[in-house]
Amino acid sequence: MAESMNAARIVFLSGLGVFLLSAVYQWIRVFINANTEDFTQPKGTVLPAFAYALTGAMMPHKKETAFLHLPTYWMGIAYHLGSFVALAWLPVHFFEWRIPDSIMIVCAAVLIPSVFSGLIILIKRISVSSLRHLSSPDDYFSNALVTLFQAISSMALLGIIPVFLVLSIGGLLLMYIPVGKLRHVIFFLIARFFLSWFYGRRGVWPPKRRILWKKNNH
Amino acid sequence: MEKKQSLTRDREKALKGFAMSMDGRLLAHLNSCVHCGLCAESCHYYLSTGEEKYMPARKVDQLARIYRRYHTVAGKIFPRWIGASDFNDQSIQEMVDVLFGGCTMCGRCSLHCSIGVDIPFLVRTARSMLVELGRVSPGLQSTVDAAVQTGNNMAIPREELVDTLQWLEEDLRMEVNDEKASIPMDVPHCRLLYTLNPREPKFFPLSISAMAKIFYAADESWTLSTHCYDVTNYAYYSGDDHTAEELTQRLFDEMIKLNAQELVLAECGHGSRAIRWEGPRWLKKKFPFPVISVIELIAGYIHSGRIAVDPSKNTTPVTLHDPCNLVRAGGVIEEQRYVLKKVVSDFREMTPNRENNYCCGGGGGQLSMGEYRERRVAAGKIKADQIKKTGAAIVATPCHNCIDQLMELNKEYSLGVEIKTVGELVADALIL
Amino acid sequence: MPEKEIEGRIFEVDGDGFLQNPEIWNDEVARLFAGEDGTGELSEDHWKVIRFIREHWENNDMAPMVRKICQHTGLRLRQIYELFPMGPARGACKIAGLPKPDGCV
């Protein structure tokens, strides 16, 4: 058992290393090429737009992709929440920290709808023609891998599956993130920031619904 | 390692240009799409045709798959696994077909994207690669060429412009019954330099008369240039940054030459966007003068009481079409509403509106790409339905490009409406 | 190359329906195009506009400014728009058998 655990620790550390190296490399690449010199005369500011991009703009009543697809939206939220919870447990497993049972049960409970959401999203991708049209093998694999990781995490929390399995799969998942579409983990905030830059400077985000009169403008 | 297909010289050049343009913003947007596909219903092309190739996520992939093939480790080793493809005949043909022929770069998908991928930015980046390959649609390219060679995109000779403006000036004098009313040409040191869309002097000069009347009412110090006045920049659409820069520089130089204080952009969506929001990037410098849309100017006139208007002069129900480039990508959102509510007595919003508005289908250079006309008109059905629902008899829109598409939709979908610029409605409501 | 069939005659046109071979244009073609695009029966005023546009294009290789159309036909601007609901470009120039002008039209 201790041997499996040590092997799992090595897998996890390798995965974490690959993920972090890749993430840092990409962040540095974006940062040195950020090219944020902007010569335009602004009609708004970037930071409030970024704040809005991460709050108001993500709300289901504002976001068409959400309110037209509410079940998918909520499944997406559950799925991502599950991923964060499962990832947060990896260091706990790694160091074999003692955590109260109640917290373990809550986390397992969060993971169960998340796993089902992941499965349904996967089935959707397989069965809906437009999604198949968009998908490469990586899209199915990434979806399946994350769902599997969540399922194993929840079972480990409930004591059905040994912890070293979670740690190993988690390590493999981390290792795989930079390869395919899961790399959006690395880029999501940056993309949203650049979009906020665009809408913020131009005064589109956050929506104002009023005119800021300028003195010289008459 | 899957061996890459060999590249022709121009394809190599296009890929090199792509690599050169790869700044942080482009990297972020290229790497973020998760193919969730929820954007499909935000696109008027997809909504009206149901064809999968028009899904915005698919459009992202047209470029992202090239990026993955040439710029990621996984794409070099096992391209099929992550959906990477070579820059070959097939992928180029698909880019031309969908990114030129099936996208107006309206940006509605980006606003609602789960992640926040700037899709029109990627589409335009891909178009820039196609510029290198000479694959820009001929109609779009000839409009760009006309602007470069003749100084305006309809190749209007200067004398003919001058004749037209003088003719309009006579009309204006009769209308306001004042011999001093004028349409000033090439007058230096004015407060405003006003621009035109060449289709105004060529075919639709009522909007020039309307603006001249408004300037007259405001007692404005303004001028037109007869040398460099074209507010359009079709190189923005084609993706040709080099030419876009050249066209912007000309207008910039004209401002400096005439020593005007503010540059006022006519009712033109893409032109406003190109000059105000992209121009400084192309020229790599700040403009030492404010650049504003004429809609902002008119709103200011009304707000400050500089012109007086009477909404009871326009009693027909009016709705407003928001041009994507002026509104969603230009931040002129409330001004046109403020103006219309002041100059018409029955203003009706269409739904959705403002930054959520649907593209009319005429953007992205579509109007000049005749080969895709059927798609353009089909994609406009969403807009036609929106207009019908308002029950309005006039559609106002501050964009000449939209006007032309709306005129065509008017006929194709038997809307029975009149299409006007905002300026025309303001001019009709003026109290002199 | 798209084709347009009107009353049994087939025309080669561009995507926007503008005639591809302007030299085959004649009064009959104008009449057919006008019927097809909803302009309807061509009146004397229609013909004045069409003939002037055609002549201007043959001499100068470009569509005339709308000012010139008004000046030469004696019609007022608003009358032109009423005669050709699709406007001078997509309406009148198309019926006169010109290729599509560049620009926002």
What digits encode the pLDDT tens for the residues B143-187? 999 999 999 999 999 999 999 999 999 999 999 999 999 999 999
Whether pLDDT at B91 is above 80: yes
Residues 25-54 of A with CB under 8 A from B: 26, 29-36, 38-41, 43-44, 53
Chain B nearest-CA distance from A57, in A, is 8
Class of domain B308-431 (CATH, top level): alpha beta
**Nearest by Cα to B409 from B368, B367, B369, B371:** B367
Nearest CB to A35; choose among B24, B36, B327: B24
- What's residue C105's pLDDT? 78
Amino acid letter, C43: S
Confidence category of residue C1, pLDDT binned at 50, 70, 90? confident
- What's residue C37's pLDDT? 86
Whether pLDDT at B377 is above 90: yes
**Owner of token pair 């696109």:** B43
Q: What is the ipTM of this complex?
A: 0.95
Residues 308-347 of B with CB under 8 A from A: 327-331, 333-335, 338
- Contact A109/B at CB under 8 A: no
Taking the C-alpha atoms of residue B262 and residue B211, their distance in angstroms, rounded to an integer, is: 16
- What's residue A215's pLDDT? 61
Taking the C-alpha atoms of residue C96 and residue C47, their distance in angstroms, rounded to an integer, is: 9
Using CA atoms in the order A150, A151, A155, A156, what is the torsion angle rounded to 10 degrees? -40
- What's residue A182's pLDDT? 98
Query: Which positions in chain B touch C16 (Cβ < 8 Å)?
Result: 370, 373
Judge whether C93 counts as a catalytic residue. Answer: no
Domain B9-135, CATH among 3.30.300, 1.10.1060, 1.10.3470, 3.40.1710: 1.10.1060
Chain C nearest-CA distance from B427, in A, is 16
Using left for φ > 0, alpha for ψ between -120 and 50, and beta otherwise, residue B155 falls in left
The arithmetic mean of pLDDT across residues C19-24, rounded, is: 91
- Asked whether the beta carbons of residue B164 and residue C86 sit closer than 8 angstroms, the reply is no
Q: Give the H/E segment covering residue C4.
A: strand C3-6
Whether pLDDT at A56 is above 90: yes
Distance spanning both ends of chain A, measured CA to CA: 79
* pLDDT tens for each residue of A132-189: 999 999 999 999 999 999 999 999 999 999 999 999 999 999 999 999 999 999 999 9
Collapsing DSSP states into helix, strand and coil, what is residue A11? Answer: helix
Question: How far out from the chain centre does Cα B25 lie?
Answer: 22
Chain B nearest-CA distance from C75, in A, is 14
The arithmetic mean of pLDDT across residues A30-40, rounded, is: 91
Cite the beta strand spans of B244-389 per DSSP E: 262-265, 291-293, 308-309, 318-320, 347-348
Taking residue B295's Cβ as centre, other Cβ atoms within 10 Å add up to 31
Same fold, B9-135 and B141-299: no
Inter-residue contact B99 to B123 (CB < 8 Å): yes
How far is it between the farthest Cα atoms of chain B? Answer: 79
Chain B nearest-CA distance from A152, in A, is 23
Superfamily classification of domain C3-95: DsrC protein, C-terminal domain (1.10.10.370)
* pLDDT tens for each residue of B272-313: 999 999 999 999 999 999 999 999 999 999 999 999 999 999
- What's residue C25's pLDDT? 95
- What's residue A1's pLDDT? 67
DSSP B351: S
Report the CATH fold assignment for B141-299.
Answer: Rossmann fold (3.40.50)
Taking residue B6's Cβ as centre, other Cβ atoms within 10 Å add up to 9
The per-residue DSSP string of B110-176 comes to: HHH-SS---HHHHHHHHHHHHHHTT-S-HHHHHHHHHHHHHSSTT---HHHHHHHHHHHHHHHHHHH
Best mutation target among B35, B124, B191 (most A Cβ atoms within 10 Å) is: B35
Taking the C-alpha atoms of residue B238 and residue B246, their distance in angstroms, rounded to an integer, is: 14
**Owner of token pair 């968009």:** A134
Task: List beta partners, residue B419.
Answer: B395
Residue extents of the structural domains in chain B: 9-135, 141-299, 308-431
pLDDT cut 70: percent of chain C above it: 100
Whether pLDDT at B3 is above 70: yes
Query: Which positions in chain A touch B33 (Cβ < 8 Å)?
Result: 181, 184
* pLDDT tens for each residue of B189-242: 999 999 999 999 999 999 999 999 999 999 999 999 999 999 999 999 999 999
pLDDT cut 90: percent of chain B above it: 99
Question: How far out from the chain centre does Cα A42 lie?
Answer: 31
Q: Give the H/E segment covering residue B395.
A: strand B394-396
Whether pLDDT at A217 is above 60: no
- Contact C90/B at CB under 8 A: yes
pLDDT cut 90: percent of chain C above it: 76
Query: Which positions in chain A touch B281 (Cβ < 8 Å)?
Result: 38-40
Half-sphere exposure of B148 (CA within 13 A, CB side): 16
Chains in contact with chain C (at least 3 beta-carbon pairs closer than 8 A): B
Which one of the listed residues C42, C43, C104, C105 is annotated catalytic? C104
Taking the C-alpha atoms of residue A37 and residue B386, their distance in angstroms, rounded to an integer, is: 39
- Asked whether the beta carbons of residue B370 and residue C18 sit closer than 8 angstroms, the reply is yes
Half-sphere exposure of A28 (CA within 13 A, CB side): 6
| CA distances in angstroms from B259 to B274, B289, B297, listed in the order given | 21, 10, 19
The arithmetic mean of pLDDT across residues C66-83, rounded, is: 95
- What's residue B4's pLDDT? 85
Nearest CB to C15; choose among B199, B232, B371: B371
Query: Which positions in chain B touch C17 (Cβ < 8 Å)?
Result: 373
Residue extents of the structural domains in chain C: 3-95
Whether pLDDT at A35 is above 90: no
The arithmetic mean of pLDDT across residues A51-66, rounded, is: 92
Question: How far out from the chain centre does Cα B144 lie?
Answer: 14
Backbone angles phi, psi at B16, to 5 degrees: -65, -45
Amino acid letter, C54: R
- Contact B22/A at CB under 8 A: yes
Residues A17-37 as b or e (16 or more Cβ within 10 Å = b): ebbeebbeebeeebeeebeee
Nearest CB to B331; choose among A44, A188, A217: A44
- Asked whether the beta carbons of residue B331 and residue A135 sit closer than 8 angstroms, the reply is no
**Nearest by Cα to B263 from B237, B234, B230, B241:** B230
- What's residue A135's pLDDT? 97
- Contact A102/B at CB under 8 A: no
